[in-house]
Structure 1
């Protein structure tokens, strides 16, 4: 399952821990401001028609992604430098019999993913990077 999660293509965004551009390029809408300026949100659609929400702090550091759509996004691209930590955690997780959902908790990154075919949803975030007053419930 991990290999499948890391193989689908995504375009037009940075990666966890990277920097969200403060100005939209010509192909993207400008980021929205959330929670009185604590977060910026940019919504993208990948090549598989999956909607990806990219969350950044007010300084531009990307701290989370959420996704929903008919295909899995390219988690290797989304997770960037945290992809190896995620893979290590996924490989060490004991199978719980649920083939449609997974939760990998590492000190540096948390990834939740699931859904039936053509109905994938999930989120990934950097727990230590959440600004004061921001919770994982704010990532929709």
Structure 2
């Protein structure tokens, strides 16, 4: 139990001191443009009828994807790469809700799933190979399933 608590605290520290990242969950698409400029990352945009994906390649090699609704709202984010993005920036106003949920979870090994009515975060990995996604269920555009967030 003490080892699990220690690992949970270590994960929280890693979240706070991670490399700078990308757009903010629950904000408009302008946050994607601002972050791409500040990060000096490469931006690629792909569109579909239900949403657009704004993908930023960070200098670290981590790729952060922002899922933007037709209304211009970032409803989900995902990441994959050698370092964690700055989850405080990525999750924005949802960051505190996420960290509180992590503190009260069992802290077992393996990928972490934090599922609440207003926020879902799934993350895992190990040094040099992190992955995850976060989304706000009520912001998902009509017809979009959580499984489409990669």
Q: What TM-score comes out, normalization by structure 1 length?
A: 0.85
Residue 5 of structure 2 is matched in structure 1 by none
Equivalent residue of 2:144, what SS? Answer: coil
8 Å Cα contact 2:62/2:82 also seen in 1: yes
Matching residue of 1:114:
124
Structure in which a larger fraction of residues adopt helix: 2
What are the superposed Cα offsets for residues 56-78 of structure 1, whole Å, 9 maximum, x if unpaired?
10111001111110001110000
Structure 2: gaps (5+ residues): 1-10
Match of 1:16 among 12, 20, 25: 25
User: Structure 1 residues 45, 62: CA separation in 2 closer, same or farther (over 3 Å shift)?
Assistant: same
Q: Secondary structure at the match of 2:25?
A: coil
Check the 8 A contact 2:44/2:55 in 1, yes or no: no
Cα gap change, 1:91 to 1:51, in 2 (>3 Å): same
1:51-66 alignment to 2 at 5 Å? 51-66=63-78
Structure 2 SS opposite 1:31: strand
* Runs of 4+ more than 3 Å apart: 23-30
Find the aligned partners of 1:87 and 1:123 in 2 and give their Cα distance: 15
* Equivalent of residue 104 in structure 2, options 92, 99, 106: 92
TM-score normalised by the chain length of structure 2: 0.80
**Secondary structure in structure 1 of the residue aligned to 2:134:** strand
Residues 44 and 56, structure 2, Cα contact 8 Å, conserved in 1? no
Aligned twin of 1:6: 16
RMSD between aligned residues: 2.2
The whole-number CA distance in structure 2 between the counterparts of 1:6 and 1:105 is 20
Q: Secondary structure at the match of 1:9?
A: coil
Structure 1, unaligned runs of 5 or more: none
Q: Show the counterpart of 1:136.
A: 146
Q: Which deviations, in whole Å up to 9, do the C-alpha atoms of 1:38-91 show, x marking residues without a partner? A: 111000022422001110101110011111100011100000000000011111
